[in-house]
Structure 1
């Protein structure tokens, strides 16, 4: 019998870039949040590890056997192989932590089968800065490169979310490289709502410079009267939050009529 896990889409409700590090990474302060929708992973026991990738964005993975699903599988000690099917519903290079979310789902599958090793967080960190947060897929503050996680008062659970991407891949590296290096201050304190309201995404200006369509998406989302809207991560996906699913669904319908080529996904904050 197959075990199924959702690889929950990650969004950054705020993302403050504080400094460039000598190792090439950046010091960050971010508020991670997760949508109750994303890619889907199904796994069943096998004589060896195998991966099949299906779904709308399956072809965007250059080498399915070298993606984060297989790397996550390889990183965890197991008594038997797993045959996995990844339904790729999230766009690639989109600021949603798609690969990291997939890896997080692998960790949860292995946890359900036989448990995780005590050093699972270090193993997750070696796969990518977003992977530790994606394993639990719970709202948290991330510091350092994003791997130092702190709890936060989540008063946003259940808020309706609309994700929109102009179907333009945007690699993280060039966006960070284009950041102007100015420290604009620390992440606000308080509940998730207070941090989200008062925070910012320091990567939005360089991302818009590289991908002007992001400004078009944000402009269209702003016209739907959301509680807030912002770009996620390094882009190009943007999100809008609403107090009710009905408001969100009306907004999604309006945008679908105006820009039928844009990718959309709806859900609720976890």
Structure 2
């Protein structure tokens, strides 16, 4: 069994509050891109995890990996040989680990003919796992447990870029100027007529984590500056808590041309052009 774990991209992310237990309340527009990791599952007497692929370095193959912890949410006694083919940057703000865990949940449920773990158990793996398990464009709020489908989206392309500089998530959240920001602007019930209209709506939203991340990691500003200069880029912004950034494009050709130019200029950066998945 082979499963795709697509990159999760926060096109907008508002921090709207903080609970007494320290968890931040979010309001976010989440989509998935046609680039990601791959999982292969095979029957086995015991649970095992092997990590391969161009981004395997530093990815644990034991209980520290969310895939392993996802498997443990099912009743004990099951076995599976799981291989993770890692293509997304580790801790890159595009939900790589969460997408892997969500794919593992779907695949193991089928392999073991077992019911999916309940919502609370899935959320216990991390705030991004429920939306990754949904696997479609969503408005995500609360601490990640409240999901609502987005209105219909026009065809869109993304250029994802990561400069390879670690972004300290805890420090990003701790240096937020405000934690009680307004929620997302109203979403049009009928969706957006085209990519330009969607980009215009996104410009009225924000990523509240981008300013503190830029201050901590100047490379993010360099990436965004380069994306903003690419022909056809409608909007450039950081995804999630960083450090992967995205450029939003209406046309496949413009997105692929931008990715090719950036790869040529910055061969040490991770760059990928991909469609937004419906």
Superposition TM-score, scaled by structure 1 size = 0.93
- Equivalent in 252, 259, 264 of residue 259 of structure 2: 252
> 1:113-124, aligned counterparts within 5 Å?
113-115=111-113, 117=115, 119-124=117-122
Task: State the shift of 1:21 in Å.
Answer: 2.2
Which residue number corresponds to residue 225 of structure 2?
219
Task: Give the conservation status (yes or no) of the 8 Å contact 2:78–2:112.
Answer: no
Task: State the shift of 1:119 in Å.
Answer: 4.7
Q: Which moved more, 1:53-62 or 1:90-99?
A: 53-62
Task: Give the conservation status (yes or no) of the 8 Å contact 1:189–1:195.
Answer: no
Which residue number corresponds to residue 195 of structure 2?
none
- Equivalent in 148, 162, 184 of residue 165 of structure 1: 162
CA distance in 1, matches of 2:169, 2:226: 24
- Equivalent in 209, 212, 228 of residue 206 of structure 1: 212
- Equivalent in 90, 93, 102 of residue 92 of structure 1: 90
Deviations 1:179-238 (A, max 9, x none): 112533220122372653321100000101111100000000000131222100000000
CA distance in 2, matches of 1:154, 1:64: 39
Which residue number corresponds to residue 137 of structure 1?
135
Which residue number corresponds to residue 46 of structure 1?
44
Task: State the shift of 1:116 in Å.
Answer: 5.2
Deviations 1:147-173 (A, max 9, x none): 2111211314x4111110001122322
Which residue number corresponds to residue 33 of structure 1?
31
Deviations 1:105-164 (A, max 9, x none): 1012123334553653222101111100101211111111122111211314x4111110
Task: Give the conservation status (yes or no) of the 8 Å contact 1:14–1:195.
Answer: no
Q: Which moved more, 1:243-252 or 1:54-63?
A: 54-63
CA distance in 1, matches of 2:113, 2:61: 28
- Give the number of the structure whose residues are more often helix, by fraction: 1
The RMSD of aligned alpha carbons is 1.8
Change (3 A) 1:242 1:60: same
CA distance in 2, matches of 1:153, 1:181: 29
Which residue number corresponds to residue 268 of structure 1?
275
CA distance in 2, matches of 1:152, 1:212: 32
Change (3 A) 1:16 1:107: same
CA distance in 2, matches of 1:77, 1:60: 29
Task: State the shift of 1:239 in Å.
Answer: 0.7
Aligned length: 267
Which residue number corresponds to residue 236 of structure 2?
229
Structure 1 unmatched ranges of 5 or more: none
Superposition TM-score, scaled by structure 2 size = 0.90
Which residue number corresponds to residue 55 of structure 2?
57
